[in-house]
Structures are given as C-alpha cells and as structure tokens.
Structure 1
Amino acid sequence: MKAIITRAICGVLCVVFIMITAGCTDRTKETQSAETASETISTDKKDRLDEVLSNNSFKGIVQITKGGDAIYQYVDGNDDNKQPLTIDASMPIGSVSKQFCAACIMLLCEQKKLSVDDTLERYFPAYQYGDKLTIKNLLNMSSGIKNHLELVDPKSLGADEQDNVDTIKKAIFDAELQFDPGDDYGYSNSNYFLLAEIVEQVSGISYHEYLRKNFLEPLEMTHTGFTYGAAGDSDRNFTLSEASSTQAEFYNPGLTKGAGDVVSNAADMDRWMRGLSGGKVISTDAFRQMTQDVNPYSSEEYCYGFWHMSYGGAGHVGQIPPHFGAVDYINTDRDVYLFAVSNTGSGMSYVQQIPSALLKILFEDK
C-alpha cells in the first residue's frame, strides 16, 4: 500500500493556530539588508528577489545568509496588532520543528543513550507493534503509524499536558498500522510526537527543557520557544496574541509536541541552521546522517526531519492553516542558509516554493 504524500501536504499540521492575524493591507513593502549585503549581492538581484516575492503576494519575512552575514532580507506585512512586521518577529514554524526533535534524538544517540535501531518496545512495552518498529522508522516516516491529528479531536483535550499526552498515545497505540514498518513512506506527526516522548524517557527531563538546555541556550536562540504558553513569555518578545475562546482548544499542551511546536525568528533560525550543520550542538557526522539517511520509498527524499531540496540543500516546510507557513534551507557546500515565514494564507500557499524560486536567482542568474 503506497502512502506517498506530496511536500505541499506533508508540511501541514492540520491544527489551527490563530496567533497572528492577517492585517497586511496599507503596508508598503520594505526590504532590509545588512550593511555587508551590497558586497555580496547586487542591487539588480535584490530587486529581482523582491519582485518574485511581491508578485506572489508574499507577506512575512525572508532572510538569506552567506558567510555569517545576511545578504538578503525581505519584510512585508503586519503582526496581530496590525503593526508593521520587523525582521525580528517570532512566529510558529510548524513542521520545521521536526528537525529540532530529530536533533535531540541524534544527540542522545551520540551519547550512546539510545540507538536509531532500538525497537519501540524498549520505550513503549505495551504497544502492540513495539517489537516491529524502530526509532529510525519514526525519524524517516517509514513506521506506518497513523497521524494522531486525525485520530484525536483537539476539542476533547484540556489544559493538562500529561492528560493530553496520555490520550494521544492511547489513540496512536490503539490504531492499526497503515503499512508494514520499513516498507513504505507515510508522513505522520505521530512519529515525532513519539520521538519527543522517547527524548523525555531517556533524558529524564521534559522534551522542551531538553531542547532548551542542549540546543536553544548553547546557540543563544533567545527569541525561540514553544507554541503553547508562548504569548505570555515576555523574555522572548513573541509577536503573538492569545487564542480566542473559540480557538482555545487548538492550543492545548502536547498536541503538536515534537512535530510542530516551535516558535522562532529569522536570526535564531540562522543560528539554528548554522549551529546544527556546523558541529556546534551535534557532530557534523550526525548532521550528515540526518540529511542523507533517506527513506527509499519517499519521492520527496525524506530523511530525519529534512527533505532534500534544490541545489544540493536540505530543509523542511511547515504549514499551519489558516495563517502560518515556514521553510528553512541549509546548503553547507555553498554556505547559504534561508529562512522564510508567513502569517497569511496567501503566503502559506507559496512558502514551500520560496527556496527554489529565490535560489535560482541567487545561484544561476548573472
């Protein structure tokens, strides 16, 4: 049974987060560039990059860095308070969060606290398929486990994270597999939810605390946090508002754990991409495994929280209807890193195409 899912659908966490509303009228496009940008990218190229984004009605933030400097920045639109966005604005990044979870697994693997070949019965002994599934099956979407966002009604969850986690795990473990483990590809948020649970079991601390202690703090990602509770986190200056009462169920803790729970901004995402790929938080060999250990059944060449992307790069897309879309792109050979995030539906539909569209101008056009 084939379960191939296109990248356009794969990045979608089918949960509604109304943290930033689209208020992007009466806002003139603003292009921001680092002082060194003129030395590395021509005015003509900047204009053409701007044109690509404006012609596709992109509202949000785009940043491209090379050699540690921002060579291109684009900001257009408003935040939830109808104030102009700035390059520093933090937004949910959806399924781009999966590579954060995969990195936690790789760090624990390097510390010899687990192996990607471990079967799940070691961590979930009551799971009927635990002896047939490995951590690697979760990482590269070859498990056959159904998406818990289709198994659990968010409205049935409450404010207690552990109760929600227990409900979600029961739904996952009660469901039949969609295919035999390792025999196909099926994008499922359940895989990364379970990986986050494994991180907690092995580390002895919460998943978010582990991620913060071992990745966010060492990389000085001071504007990065998590979707639930983020609006009240004044230390990270999130441009987010609380959910309305009619949407509150979609913010229930645990629902997107490990799979789509990170909030970040352009500067922090550049620190993340450079740090992760540059040996600062995991080894370069571990990062290479994350981006090269491909599921052979995936037409999208899915690895460990990464897809292969154009020009030899790797990254992930994240889409959270109806507003948010994000994409990151790492190309270590060219030393180019791209991050884009949108807080409007029109931007979300285009965000997955941004790397190819912009990098064509950057790499190919003279």
Structure 2
Amino acid sequence: MAWLCTAGGAMVVVVLAGVASPQAYATGDDHEKRSAEVLQELVPSPEGPGCAAAVGVRGSVVWEAGRGKADLSTGRAITSKTVFDMASNSKQFTADAVLLLAGRRQLALSDPLSDFLDNPPAWTRNVTLGNLMRHTSGITDYQDLLEAKGIKLTDPAGQKEAIAAVLASQPEGPAGKRFSYSNSNYVLLAHVVERVAGKPFPAFIQQEFFTPLHLRMTLAPGVDVPGKAKSYDEKDGSFTPNSSPWKQYGDGSVQSSPGEFVRWADNYRTGRIGGKELLAGVTDGSVSVGDVLRPRGIEEGRYGAGILVLPDKSLVHRGDWEGFHSTFKVSPDRKTAVTVVCNVDSPDHFRAANQLLDIWTK
C-alpha cells in the first residue's frame, strides 16, 4: 500500500510495509464482548460520526473495531482500518526524534533554540530543546499568534507562517519556570530535527520510525490520505464537516488507524528504536503539569517526551484537531496499549480508553 504525503513542500509516495495479523487473546473469557460494549456505549448510534478503538498486547493487536460513519455524504462506515488524524498524539514521534538525535550526539536537550535558527531573536538563547519538549518554554501557541494576525483556521497557513509568528513574538514568561502546553514548542522541535538531520521532517519520521517498525502510518499535514475519515462538528444533533488548510507538523498530522498506533506503543516496552537511552529520555526530566490538563480529563501527572506520565507510571496523551479526538494510553508495565479515536467530539473517549485498558489488564 502507498500513501501520498508532503515532504518539504514536495509530494512523495510513501510505501507502507505489511504488518502482522492480529492474534487471538488466549484468555477464554469475555474480553472482546466487553470491549464491544464499551464502543457501543461510546457511539450509541451507528448512523452518525463515531469512533474506532484498538487494544495491543506486546505489539500485537488483540482487539479492534469501529462504529459510526467515516463519511456521512457517502455512508462509508468506520472500521478498524479507518485512518484518522491523531492530532497531538503525534507529538511523541517528534520528541522521540529529538531523543534519537541526542542519542547519536547530534544535539543535546540542553542546547539553546538559538543554535538552530538563522538570525535568532535574543530570547531564543534562553530556551533549551528540553524546555520545548516539556512545554516549559513560555512560548505562546502559534494558533493564537496566527489568529491574532487575522489568519483564521479556514485560511492557508503552514510551517513557515507558524514559525515566523512565534519568532516575531515574545514569550509569556521565562523558560523553565512552569508547564504551559503550547503547540509552538513541537513545531519548533520539528524544525530543529530538519536542521540537524538535513532532510524534511516527514521523511525523517518515516525513515526512522514508521518503516523499520512496519507501521502503516504517515505524517501528512493537510492531505486526505486513502481510507481517512471525515471529521465533523456537532450542534443540536446536526453535523457539519470540519477541515482546515493549515499544514503545520511536529505538533500533529500523523495519520493512522488505532491498531497501528497500539503496535507503535510496543516501542515503549522494547526500545527497538532508540534503545534504553531513548526509553529513559521519555520520562527523565519530566515536569509536573499541576491541574493544567484537568479540563482534558487528566487530574495530575508529569510531562515527559511528548507523553504524560501518570502517578501509576502509565503513559497517556490526548489529541484534538479539526473534529478529530484521540486518546492513547500504555499500561504501567508497558505490555498493553489502547487507542480510541473519533471523528466528532466525544466527551467519553478518554473514559472509554481507561475502560478498555482495565478490561485487558485485569
């Protein structure tokens, strides 16, 4: 299978390798039935937009399903293979790319952002790559900066415009003082990876992560890849298509089915990509988020390398963009992972992910 994706402004073809078939979960109990009930509760009606979910154990997909419509205009159903924009769940690949380069001694998390910019603003000398990774840079979110300039989500804007807006602004506070979630941090990290690796960021992620792990994923901002769901906004029972021509990356734009995402999760157990040094970097230096993420259903935790570490040592992240909403969670022992992703806002997808993880770990 091949997907078209953008790389540095050019259109390239990404060939996606085959993956292992899902394996049966040898418990003899009702895991699949209970999982299906969670999905049905999450999506009561199959006639509107919906969700897909998957559970992985040691890198094998043990259960996956979809419910609802991927495209209301055609009636195409959501299946376990439907592709979604994983939004901010993409950040872990960006962070791991930085850790990979750090492991190769091509950069260090203590390096200032200014080292990777032409004509850097003075304030970038005080912001380290570690500050960007852990959202302690104090930098304003580029979405707010672009909208303040009159650029709406319905107007074209890409990586260049986002970075220019960030560098023309001033941080909201000194770096390293507090956690403040900002997509700008990860757009800048993608730029750093490009500068150090000497190649477009999507191509680097494909080469270093997707291809060696045989993952049917692509990093493709603003591209309608084959099999992808349409996303919708809901108001009073009516659904309106939601899309934006914005094409930033690093903070989002990985396109995947939930099954492929739980297969990716096994790298947190095996360290196949990056080894022990990358795995240590995922949690080392993590910072408390306080109650900043409470509106997103996360009461407490510490933000590491593109992922939140909860008090029980489980890993979790959420993603929300253009009507796509996802929750990704990995068990404390790193053996089991869950992904739930929807093409319309669902207040319960985080709860559903927790329910599914409970079913498959108890």
Within-5 A mapping of 1:1-366: 36-37=24-25, 39-40=26-27, 42-43=29-30, 45-57=31-43, 59-80=50-71, 81-124=74-117, 125-153=119-147, 154-155=151-152, 164-229=158-223, 231=224, 233=225, 237-240=226-229, 250-254=244-248, 257-275=249-267, 277-296=269-288, 298=290, 299-309=300-310, 311-321=312-322, 323-331=323-331, 333=333, 335-346=335-346, 349-364=347-362
Give the direction of change, closer, same or farther, for the CA distance of 1:41–1:120 in structure 2 (3 Å limit).
farther
The structure where strand makes up a greater share of residues is 2
Task: Name the CA distance, whole Å, in 2 between partners of 1:320 and 1:156.
Answer: 11
Give the direction of change, closer, same or farther, for the CA distance of 1:334–1:116 in structure 2 (3 Å limit).
closer
* Secondary structure class of the residue paired with 1:141: coil
Deviations 1:97-128 (A, max 9, x none): 10010111011111110000001121124222
Task: Name the CA distance, whole Å, in 2 between partners of 1:91 and 1:83.
Answer: 14
Preserved CA contact (<8 Å) 1:128 1:173? no
Preserved CA contact (<8 Å) 2:110 2:129? yes
Give the direction of change, closer, same or farther, for the CA distance of 1:120–1:247 in structure 2 (3 Å limit).
farther
Match for 2:66: what amino acid?
A: V
Give TM-score, length-normalised by structure 1. 0.77
Offset at residue 151 of structure 1 (A): 0.6
Offset at residue 277 of structure 1 (A): 4.0
Aligned-pair RMSD on alpha carbons? 2.8
Offset at residue 303 of structure 1 (A): 1.0
Deviates more, 1:77-86 or 1:194-203: 77-86
Asked which structure has the greater RCO (Cα within 8 Å, sep 6+), the reply is 1
Structure 2, gaps ≥5 residues long: 1-20, 45-49, 233-239, 291-299
Aligned positions, number: 315
Task: Name the CA distance, whole Å, in 2 between partners of 1:95 and 1:157.
Answer: 19
Match of 2:294 in 1: none
Deviations 1:244-280 (A, max 9, x none): xx989822333xx100111111332133212354222
Match of 1:7 in 2: none
Task: Name the CA distance, whole Å, in 2 between partners of 1:359 and 1:62.
Answer: 11
Give the direction of change, closer, same or farther, for the CA distance of 1:201–1:247 in structure 2 (3 Å limit).
farther
Give the direction of change, closer, same or farther, for the CA distance of 1:196–1:35 in structure 2 (3 Å limit).
closer
